[in-house]
Amino acid sequence: MKRCAWIVLALLSLMGWRSVRAQGPDYALPAGFALPWACGQGYRVTWDPEGHWEAGMATGIAYDFSMMEGVPLYAPMSGTAHFLRDDRPFEINLGFYIEVVDESGYWLVRLAHLRDEQHGTRQVQAGELIGHSGASGATSAHLHLELQVREGDRWVRPDLDRLPVMFGLSHGDLALGALITNLGCPALLSLPGDVMPDRPSVSLGERVDLSVPLFNEELAPVRFDLLQVALYSASGDAVIAEAEGHWQVDGKDRITASVPTYLPSSGPWYVGRVTYRTEEGATGLPARGQIDVMPSSLRYVGLGVSRGALTVGESLRLYVWMENQGDHEMRVERLFLDGLRPDGAAWRASLDEAQVFAPGEVRRVMLESDARLHQVGPWLLERLGYRSEGRELFFARLDRQVTVRGPQLAVEGIELFRSADRAHVFVQVRNVGTDAATPEAIEIWGWMPQGEAFMERLLSVARLEVGQAAMMQFDIPMHGSQGLWKLVEAGYWQDGVYYCMPLPMQPAVTIAPERYGSPSTAPPDKVLYAVRFPRAGQPSPQ
């Protein structure tokens, strides 16, 4: 099986290849890229693209996979491989990584945190061994897999709406917790029919048991201990249903295994993939099936915002009208509304008190954001949900937004110099808001080697007009402490409220006597690091 793995990877890559280079990126190509590991291997998704974007840890569409050190990794498509090392002084960076640019020149696949350092550039073929998984630049071993697309002379995030499939998988297949394997690999078990629910339709919040038919193509019995079913909805939700046990399928025999699940939103749900795990490894199979989830009796009637014009620093209060259209009393533990901030990260407004709706009752409730509005731009209102019996269920989708105005400061870059007894940190700050900023103070803080916090604050800060940038200098006494100094956060005070200026990562510097000597004899003006953070849409450092 392992000997044929590279052949399968090459064939998967060639599925999406077009011999004539198109003008602009061909969004059909990534569907044919292969996952960079061999047949028979499966790895769980531990971090999704949204999590990477919220933490500022990826420019493109990125997934992390649980993977031990030393797993052979293969080129996902033919093209040019660049073998690189991330020298940015962060506690977590890309480590040793590889970027493969496909033959069209428009698509880049990045494999990061690899075990071995390699240098240079060379042509590779799909399925060619190019490295091994590791933990470089990370706190533990795993694989960071990222897809980017060329836009002019930059590498940027692909348009997800134009990319329903990549690496042969849909976004629903790549949900958190999913055990991911390459498609097109030899399989001991097949699916002789559709995955069927135990009844044609279920109500929102009810358990449904999925019957998975499996047929053993071989003569020897096949034993497996884990079964997953990937499901997705027309609105983009994804669920991984999973069951563990001890199943055996005798040679040329068939069994039906059951996998329970709860689906979090109403409407049709579709089965996209079934994955099973044996002692020899994991295998994924394309699958079919449909479950219809009936709406909740709780219905959305209307929504209002506490104020028409919202400014930075306020709390967002939303008034939602809801109706219980059922014949029975309905109790919910919590009500919430989910949305997206201007930077794409998730936010939530909620009412944490339990509510009981009588049959036919229409009620207005107030939901309040979990944090003050701290970013200018459109805040999207996406869907309403409630918590019942420990599960979050979504009963209405919204297409609304509120616009926030005001000042907003953001960190654009950091430079750090070392003198005899202190570190000098220069932070470039820009006003990316819609109004002038008059901060009362700007500060940075972090951790010293012994675990104690340090903080430096500037109290005399000039007014920053819209779009204006300024360089702030902070002088940090080193106190003779040797070890890891970590810068965690920058922030500013405006009208008595503190606003965080997130750093894409946490810069860390090690002060070691064998390298720099004691603080009293350290070379003056020693440049320890200089970091420039790309603005949204710009490529990560390469």
pLDDT reported for residue 538: 37
> Is the pTM higher than 0.95?
no
* 162 phi and psi angles, rounded to 5 deg: -95, 5
E strands in 432-478: 441-447, 453-458, 469-477
Amino acid at residue number 44: R
Amino acid at residue number 107: W
CA distance 466 to 34: 46
pLDDT reported for residue 127: 94
pLDDT reported for residue 506: 65
pLDDT reported for residue 452: 81
pLDDT reported for residue 507: 67
DSSP 397-410: EEEEEEEEES--EE
Residue 528 belongs to what H/E stretch?
A: strand 526-532
pLDDT reported for residue 89: 66
457 vs 443, 453, 460, CA distance in Å? Answer: 4, 13, 9
Two structure tokens written together for 317: 């209060």
CA distance 295 to 173: 24
CA distance 280 to 429: 54
pLDDT reported for residue 510: 61
Task: Give the CATH number of domain 189-294.
Answer: 2.60.40.10
Give the start-to-end residue ranges of the domains of the chain.
5-180, 189-294, 298-405, 409-532
For the domain made up of 409-532, give the CATH fold: Immunoglobulin-like (2.60.40)
CA distance 299 to 108: 44
One fold for 5-180 and 298-405: no
- Is-contact 88 6, C-beta < 8 A? no
DSSP 74-87: E-SSSEEEEEEE--
pLDDT in tens, the chain (542 residues): 444 444 444 444 444 444 334 478 999 999 999 999 999 999 999 999 988 887 778 889 999 999 999 999 999 999 999 999 987 766 678 999 999 999 999 999 999 999 999 999 999 999 999 999 999 999 999 999 999 999 988 899 999 889 999 999 998 899 999 999 988 888 999 999 999 999 989 999 999 999 999 999 899 999 999 999 999 998 889 999 999 999 999 999 999 999 999 999 999 999 999 999 999 899 999 999 999 999 999 999 999 987 667 999 988 999 999 999 999 999 999 999 999 999 888 899 999 999 999 999 999 999 999 888 999 999 999 999 999 999 999 999 998 999 999 999 999 888 877 777 777 888 999 999 999 999 999 999 888 877 788 899 999 899 999 999 999 999 888 766 677 778 888 999 999 999 999 876 666 666 655 443 333 333 434 444 444 443 333 334 33
> How many Cα atoms within 13 Å fall on the side-chain side of residue 341?
19
* 372 phi and psi angles, rounded to 5 deg: -70, 155
pLDDT reported for residue 31: 95
Amino acid at residue number 223: R
2.60.40.10, 2.40.10.10, 3.30.360.10, 3.40.390.10: CATH of 298-405? 2.60.40.10
pLDDT reported for residue 213: 98
DSSP 335-355: EEEEEE-TTS-EEEEEE-S-E
Amino acid at residue number 5: A
CA distance 95 to 116: 10
CA distance 19 to 104: 9
pLDDT reported for residue 414: 84
Q: Considering only the top CATH level, what class is 5-180?
A: mainly beta
